Amino acid sequence: MITLYDHPRSGNCYKVRLFLALIALPYRREFMDVLARKNQTEAFERISAWRQVPAIDDDGLAVWDSHAILMYLAQKHAPQWLAPLPHAGLRRATTHQHKTHWGKTWKRSLDLT
């Protein structure tokens, strides 16, 4: 069963909880008291490299970052939620590159003008 490391006031955690509910996937919630810095431990760093929520543990596989979690869950448990594109792997990879590096791309485009 998936364990979601979660804080109820986090918008990024909410996105993951919402998607889990939409695909009706059972999961266990582990409350992370970020205000008391309970996420700033070496043990949690093994699950979330940046020690941030949300993060999930899927039978020993740790995934962190809400976008990465959503893509992982969709690909593994709900592929019908992914757009059926030709060359989907390449297009998804390119999309993720832009999502991950949008700031660098934006700055580069500003430098060119």
What is the model's pTM?
0.75
CA distances from 5 to 56, 78, 91 (A): 6, 21, 30
Instruction: Find the helix or strand (DSSP H, E) in which 14 lies.
Output: helix 11-22
Tens-binned pLDDT, residue by residue, of the chain (113 aa): 999 999 999 999 999 999 999 999 999 999 999 999 999 999 999 999 999 999 999 999 999 999 999 989 999 999 888 776 666 666 666 666 555 554 444 444 444 43
Domains along the chain with CATH numbers:
2-81 (3.40.30.10)
